Structure 1
């Protein structure tokens, strides 16, 4: 035999369902917030490391560019000397 549910019982069940849902959403919000905080901390660390790398690499890039210029200049001079030596032979 089926049990009849009164309107009041149905209202209580619905209210209980919403309360459970509210608790689950609160728990989800808290967990999501904690996870986002962790991601933010990790990204802050990555940004700091990238800034450090840029600080270190900046002068190195300029030094390498200067060395490349010097090498090209020296290569030109060596080529001229080789041509002079070969013309003397």
Structure 2
């Protein structure tokens, strides 16, 4: 199942800079793991914001939930999820 996930990161201004840098490093590692196995298929940065729009490929909404809460920055995220399905006019076979 494909899902569009919009993530806005909201970090308190007084949050410890070193701890946040460590969380970002861990977030990058987790993101790359999920990309390598095909779970996190696409990511785009939203210009001017600490936000992204991503496409996830998972077996269920429960799996997506588990993936999202596993992200080190999840406690600072506002997340919006939209379920997607293949458009019948698509010429791409991997739009499942």
The structure with more strand, counted as a fraction of residues: 2
Asked if these proteins are the same fold (TM beyond 0.5), I'd say no
The structure with more helix, counted as a fraction of residues: 1
Query: Higher relative CO (CA 8 A, sep ≥ 6), structure 1 or 2?
Result: 2
TM range (shorter): under 0.3
TM-score, L = length of structure 1: 0.26
Larger Rg computed on CA atoms: 1
TM-score, L = length of structure 2: 0.25
